Amino acid sequence: MSTATPHLPHTVTATMQAAVFHGAGDIRVETVARPTVTEPTDAVIRLVATCVCGSDLWYYRGESDHDVSGIGHEALGVITEVGDTAAGSLQPGQLVIVPFAYSDNTCPHCEVGMHTACRNGGYFGRGALGCQAEYVRVPQAAGTCVPVPPGHYCMSKIKDLLALSDVMGTGYHAIDAALVKPGNTVAVIGDGAVGLSAVLAAKMRGAATIIMLGSRTAARQQLAIDCGATTVISARGQEAIDEVLQITAGIGVDGVAECVGTGAAMTTAIRIARPGAVIGRVGLPHDAPIDELYTFGHNIGVRGGPAPVRAYLDELLAAVLDGDLQPGKVFDYTTTLDNIAAAYAAMDTRQATKTLIDFTAGNGITTTV
């Protein structure tokens, strides 16, 4: 129960346009109820930009179940409504980054930086918490929303900021989980947007050699190099393992960012890790067993899981605002919500690395807040 702060920046209607998942390969834009504040800790944002995630493709391809409901979990938006509790720290009109998991940022798990295990937390991406929509309700808003300083942000910066809601923080988590240190040799498995973000993160952490595995298209390989990869290997499986061992004089790499989640990717990660190395995994495992005897025999660690993006956001936002980090370069396809079905199809067919849904045109939102 709450009364919303009635400081709406413009007239809003009771409905909105939102992407609705109807089944494999079937994403539609429909008129649905516009979310409102339902708990005092809530806020509602009007989207400035959202995107399609590689993990949305698991649903799109029918490989994971999803309700017939709203979808999408990445959001950059302007606050339109805040509940009484959230009003203590957030105001309508603020531009905020919303990580794909909401969290109170105060519980014992959040205190140690594991926000995706928040005792009061949860995930965006279903029903009224679908972010591929004009508005989204943000639970635990004070802990979840990270305000961006007022200013003018061009589309390039909007892309950088949106990338912080998931993909950049997830790539960073893989590198953090792999305990990458300055001077290390690091392998990144997966040339999707998360893998490319892991390359950026490895560079931030001072890795000396960054090997991107599994990249087969020239455009994607160039993007990996632009992000900081020092070597790109197009081979997969045993051939890729052999190439990495050759590059590292038979030693293996100091850390692996596993950004795919398949059994083949995990096997490659384990076989290229040097004894004592840690694999940071952020790809949702789909039939990806860990070889217990090999990892035991070689003292190889496996860490990682859903990225606690909120834990990294202050550091990553500062790097973006300083111009030291440009994670928005993973977006190579931009469209509007009306065309979101095409945005999914472009990613499904690998014509796009990551598709951005732009709400800034024609709906009264400007990029100056």
Please state the closest distance from residue 119 (CB atom) to Zn ion, in A: 5
Residue from 74, 104, 166, 176 touching Zn ion (CB under 5 A): that is 104
191: contact with Zn ion by CB under 5 A: no
User: What is the rounded CA–CA span in Å between residue 14 and residue 265?
Assistant: 46
Q: Where are the beta strands (DSSP E) in the chain?
A: 15-23, 26-33, 43-51, 75-82, 95-98, 101-102, 122-123, 135-138, 146-147, 185-189, 209-213, 231-233, 253-258, 273-281, 301-304, 333-335, 355-358
144: contact with Zn ion by CB under 5 A: no
CA neighbor of 340 nearest in space, from 53, 33, 35, 32? 53
Please state the closest distance from residue 6 (CB atom) to Zn ion, in A: 29
Cα 45 to chain center, whole Å?
A: 18
Closer to Zn ion by Cβ: residue 142 or 325: 142
103: contact with Zn ion by CB under 5 A: yes
Q: Which stretch binds Zn ion (CB under 5 A): 42-50, 92-100, 101-109, 275-283?
A: 101-109
User: What is the rounded CA–CA span in Å between residue 136 and residue 113?
Assistant: 25
Angle at 121 between CA 118 and CA 127, to 5 degrees: 155
Q: Which stretch binds Zn ion (CB under 5 A): 87-95, 118-126, 323-331, 337-345?
A: 118-126
User: What is the rounded CA–CA span in Å between residue 52 and residue 11?
Assistant: 28
* Longest Cα–Cα distance in the chain: 65
As a three-state string, the secondary structure of 5-74 is CCCCCCCCCCEEEEEEEEECCEEEEEEEECCCCCCCCCEEEEEEEEECCCCHHHHHCCCCCCCCCECCCC
Please state the closest distance from residue 103 (CB atom) to Zn ion, in A: 5
Q: Which stretch binds Zn ion (CB under 5 A): 33-41, 109-117, 129-137, 250-258?
A: 109-117
Residue from 20, 87, 107, 196 touching Zn ion (CB under 5 A): that is 107
Closer to Zn ion by Cβ: residue 104 or 176: 104
Q: Which stretch binds Zn ion (CB under 5 A): 37-45, 114-122, 230-238, 299-307?
A: 114-122
Please state the closest distance from residue 286 (CB atom) to Zn ion, in A: 28
Closer to Zn ion by Cβ: residue 103 or 230: 103
Closer to Zn ion by Cβ: residue 314 or 338: 314
199: contact with Zn ion by CB under 5 A: no
Size of the site for Zn ion (CB under 5 A): 5
Q: What SS3 class is residue 249?
A: coil
Q: Which stretch binds Zn ion (CB under 5 A): 110-118, 163-171, 237-245, 248-256?
A: 110-118
164: contact with Zn ion by CB under 5 A: no
110: contact with Zn ion by CB under 5 A: yes
Q: Which stretch binds Zn ion (CB under 5 A): 103-111, 147-155, 189-197, 313-321?
A: 103-111
User: What is the rounded CA–CA span in Å between residue 297 and residue 295?
Assistant: 5
204: contact with Zn ion by CB under 5 A: no
Please state the closest distance from residue 100 (CB atom) to Zn ion, in A: 15
56: contact with Zn ion by CB under 5 A: no
Please state the closest distance from residue 144 (CB atom) to Zn ion, in A: 10
Please state the closest distance from residue 112 (CB atom) to Zn ion, in A: 10
User: What is the rounded CA–CA span in Å between residue 73 and residue 364?
Assistant: 23
Using the Cα atoms of residue 56, residue 60, residue 61 and residue 63 in order, give the sign of their dihedral.
positive
Q: Which stretch binds Zn ion (CB under 5 A): 44-52, 100-108, 252-260, 323-331?
A: 100-108
Closer to Zn ion by Cβ: residue 9 or 305: 305
Q: Which residue has the tokens 């994403």?
A: 27
Tokens of 330: 């993973």
In the beta sheet, which residues pair with residue 280? Answer: 257, 303
Instruction: List residues binding Zn ion (CB under 5 A).
Output: 103-104, 107, 110, 118
